[in-house]
Amino acid sequence: MPTFDHKNRADIRIIYGERQTNVRSALRNTVMSEGYRGIEDYGEVKPLESALSTGWPDLLVLDSGLPGGDCCALIESLRHNRTGDNPFVPVIFTLWNADSDAVERIVGCGVDDLLVNPISPTQLMSRIEFLVFNRKPFVVTSDYIGPDRRDATERDSEIPAIDVPNTLQQKAFGEKVDYENLRNSISDMLVTINEERLIRHSYQIAFLVRLITDGLAAEPQDERISEFITRLSDVARDVGERLAGSRYEHVSDLCETMIETAGRVALRAESPNPKDIELLSPLSDALIVGFNPDKQAADMASEINGMLSNFAARSA
């Protein structure tokens, strides 16, 4: 395996955001003394966001409470290729308040790692080395793009792991980054991610339809029905927006029917038309087959049942 030579640190570009000026200055100076000459520091979100779109950062270290914007939303935008040039740049979040809600939101936005402030330079050096040698592959679900955070018991699911470009590793190993090749690799990877998102959306639609139909049939009715219906309508629309140019354009008519049906159900969420509800199950069945033509029906049903079981366990 290649080694991370100290002299290669100088070529690594790090964007660092921290709200406390004294903490930011101290860590930046120490990191620079360790050979990381390419560190840029910011005290607010807006200039940091602009820096993401100029050049090619190799690592982002970001205080989750940086003022001037929503840092989790920024990383979600980065991972969805709406901000910056490289949606796969490694991201370490730091936070001063490690309450469970904050941690859950941070983990869900697509970061690679999380450190609780105050952090030491030694901690940061250790995490950088981990991202060089052991960075996790990405996974794509209906509502997440980012490093694989599943534990060992969950990794036997049908969701594939995707190895993404890692310029931090390339520079650490002394490799020259060909940015034209990097752009092409990112473009190819985004096609793969888009198609994987469509597959995961097909499962999400089937899952939501089960929640809706079962919830409407329950006595009393599930009080979260409106929430499920809204989510179904949102996912169906996102599928429609992603189909163009993909290998799944053949299901566009089915998708349009699902969008229209889900939209009508959403408009009358309190008392949906029974005919529209009856349409949801056959439509979702046809969609999941269209997006997964090589899968056995029993395997797809098993995965959906697993999603329902996990949801019930979390809701208990």
Domain check: are 80 and 211 in the same one?
no
pLDDT at res. 178: 97
pLDDT at res. 12: 97
Domain CATH code at residue 67: 3.40.50.2300
Do the domain assignments include residue 181? Answer: no
Domain check: are 141 and 47 in the same one?
yes
Domain count of the fold of the chain: 2
Do the domain assignments include residue 274? Answer: yes
Do the domain assignments include residue 182? Answer: no
Query: Of 175, 204, 232, which marks where a domain is finished?
Result: 175
Domain that holds residue 239: 187-315
pLDDT at res. 155: 52
Kindly give the confidence (pLDDT) of every residue in the chain, 316 residues in length, as a single tens digit, with 9 standing for 90 and above: 688 888 999 999 999 999 999 999 999 999 999 999 999 999 999 999 999 988 899 999 999 999 999 999 999 999 999 999 999 999 999 998 888 888 999 999 999 999 998 888 899 999 999 999 999 999 999 999 999 987 655 554 678 899 999 999 999 999 999 999 999 999 999 999 999 999 999 999 999 999 999 999 888 888 899 999 999 999 999 999 999 999 999 999 999 999 999 999 999 888 899 999 999 999 999 999 999 999 999 999 999 999 999 998 988 7
For residue 74, the Cα-to-chain-centroid distance in whole angstroms is: 12
pLDDT at res. 154: 58
Domain check: are 140 and 232 in the same one?
no
pLDDT at res. 97: 84
55: left (phi over 0), alpha (psi -120 to 50) or beta: left
pLDDT at res. 203: 96
Do the domain assignments include residue 45? Answer: yes
Contact 276, 232 (CB under 8 A): no
pLDDT at res. 189: 95
Crossing angle (nearest 10°) for helices 274-291 and 252-267: 150
Return the closest-CA partner of residue 308 out of 238, 214, 187: 214
pTM score: 0.90
